[in-house]
């Protein structure tokens, strides 16, 4: 049974930021902010070795035909291992080639069991964001278990990376997880700069938190949402409908078209979600590199971590109760 804590729920919003949205002035008058996000999950997926009832069937090379099994599925295990052994390093080299930083949606266990990669990401200036303790659905967790899981995730990630976590995307939580994030960050004595648990915008925006409703305006903090997406996600190579085949060219064209639209409109942001075991494969990484080269040759492109995007937005458009767009 799924527990829905009514006091944590937000109303749906179909109006958003209006006809033209919010045009954000990015640093150095850039026309667009681009966020590369590496979902680093390898080793945190389902496996009977870790007490799970099935092997992992989601987002690996055999796609929908992979199939979970009630015993170890070595093919799937080793596709995940490829991600941590080869794909993650390949993507990291691409970021170095262009001199950019990315955000990692990091599974705590994945960081713990590949400390060499964890240290390299911190060394190279990439942002570590919270993505869960393991890469599992926790949709049926009761409220207190949900809170404990968030806390366990953060404590393990901070121990594995020595980083102060300021952003999160769990993605596979309960109906309460997303709005528990600022509560748990505050309980742990940290500041949550942003959450990416939304898919409904092309720009960051503010939300009012329901439990702050009775507070004086000057005591309200709100929560900055930095939207995520599925449409540019390399996971669509293994989803239906997706990028049609294993070939990367359709992927490149879709990323390019998305960029061109948002670049033309101006004042928006684009997210490119990646997985080590998917975009980190040689054939797809070439299409990713082709896209990176394309945008590197455009003027007015700011490639940044989500942490830096959130900091910039907060400085330009500080929280104002009742306003999605914030401002002085």
- The whole-angstrom separation of Cα 184 and Cα 230 is 26
Contact 126, 167 (CB under 8 A): no
Range 148-166 average pLDDT: 97
Domains of the chain, earliest start first: 21-316 (3.20.20.370)
Residue keyed to tokens 């060394």: 123
Strand runs labelled E in the chain? 32-40, 103-106, 127-130, 167-168, 194-195, 205-207, 223-225, 268-275, 301-303
- For the beta carbon of residue 270, count every other beta carbon within 10 angstroms: 21
Radius of gyration in angstroms for the set of CA atoms belonging to the chain, rounded to a whole number: 19
Nearest of 278, 295, 316 to residue 87 by alpha carbon: 278
What is the pLDDT at residue 261? 97
Range 304-328 average pLDDT: 95
CA separation, residue 82 to residues 40, 86, 237 (Å)? 12, 5, 16
pLDDT digits (tens, 9 = 90+) for 279-308: 999 999 999 999 999 999 999 999 999 999
The model scores a pTM over 0.85? yes
């Amino acid at each position: 049974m799924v527990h829905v804590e009514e006091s944590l729920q937000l109303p749906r919003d179909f109006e958003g930021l209006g006809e033209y949205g919010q045009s954000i002035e990015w640093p150095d008058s850039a026309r667009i902010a681009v966020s590369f996000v590496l979902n680093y999950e390898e080793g945190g997926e389902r496996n009977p070795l870790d007490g799970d009832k099935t092997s992992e069937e989601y987002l690996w090379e055999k796609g929908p035909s992979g199939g979970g099994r009630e015993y170890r599925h070595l093919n799937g295990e080793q596709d995940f291992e490829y991600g941590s052994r080869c794909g993650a390093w390949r993507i990291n080299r691409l970021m170095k080639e262009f001199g950019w930083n990315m955000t990692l949606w990091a599974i705590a266990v994945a960081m713990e069991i590949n400390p060499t990669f964890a240290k390299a990401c911190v060394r190279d200036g990439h942002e570590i964001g919270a993505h869960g303790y393991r890469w599992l659905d926790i949709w049926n967790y009761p409220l207190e278990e949900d809170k404990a899981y968030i806390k366990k995730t953060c404590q393990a990630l901070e121990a594995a990376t020595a980083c102060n976590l300021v952003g999160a995307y769990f993605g596979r939580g309960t109906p309460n997880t997303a709005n528990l994030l600022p509560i748990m960050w505050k309980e742990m004595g940290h500041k949550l700069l942003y959450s990416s648990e939304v898919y409904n915008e092309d720009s960051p925006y503010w939300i009012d938190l329901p439990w702050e409703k009775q507070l004086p305006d000057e005591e309200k903090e709100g929560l900055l949402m930095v939207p995520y997406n599925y449409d540019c996600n390399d996971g669509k190579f293994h989803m239906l409908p997706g990028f049609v085949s294993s070939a990367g060219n359709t992927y490149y064209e879709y990323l390019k078209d998305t960029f061109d639209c948002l670049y033309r409109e101006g004042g928006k942001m684009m997210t490119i979600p990646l997985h080590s075991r998917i975009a980190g494969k040689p054939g797809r990484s070439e299409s990713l590199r082709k896209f990176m080269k394309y945008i590197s040759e455009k003027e007015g492109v700011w490639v940044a971590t989500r942490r830096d995007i959130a900091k910039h937005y907060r400085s330009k458009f500080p929280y104002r109760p009742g306003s999605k767009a914030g401002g002085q």
